[in-house]
Amino acid sequence: MRGRVFELIAGHLDGLRIDSLIVEKPKTVPALREDRRFYPEMLGYLLKFVLPKEIESGAEEVIVITDTVPVQKKRQAIEKAIQQALAKMLPAGMSYRILHHASRSHYGLQVADYCCWAVFRKWQRSETEHYDRIRAAVRSEFDIFRTGTRYYY
């Protein structure tokens, strides 16, 4: 099944750009591990790298699409943190939207999930069969804690 999905994705790489932030969670300081801090901050680091290039290329709006977070309080906390990260990075007046969709019904989130899985397998297990199929669309893989030596768990 996965092979067919990657075959389909590989046929559309010209419209795809994959930028990955590699996070070795055991190197993450405990204060940052809480979901409402961890995901927005990691998104912030990724956007800090990706957004300037997109803005230079003429992007007029940023749209962040997340999988639906089932708990309303948690969703609000994550959305607020994403808004704060975007507000810090975007040029004055640049608009953005944050959309929440169930990944089972949003093909873009499904493609992102498959691509993340392929990158994960490459980094975690040195398995590149599926990664090799999407490699042409991979623009970056930034290992954020690459120089870290302390493990917290």
pLDDT in tens, 122-132: 999 999 999 99
The C-alpha atoms of residue 66 and residue 6 are separated, in whole angstroms, by: 21
Count of beta carbons in the 10 Å neighbourhood of residue 28: 19
Q: Which residue has the higher pLDDT, 130 or 67?
A: 130
Could you report the per-residue pLDDT of 43-65, keeping only the tens digit for each?
A: 888 888 888 888 899 999 999 99
- Across the range 8-28, mean pLDDT stands at 95
pLDDT tens digits along 75-116? 887 788 788 888 888 888 899 999 999 999 999 999 999 999
Torsions phi, psi for 60 (to 5 deg): -110, -15
Interatomic CA distance for residues 87 and 90, integer angstroms: 6
Q: Output the pLDDT for position 51.
A: 87
CB 90 within 8 A of CB 62: yes
Domain ranges of the chain: 2-143
| pLDDT value at 74 more than 80 | no
Mean pLDDT, all residues of the chain = 91
Q: What is the pLDDT at residue 18?
A: 96
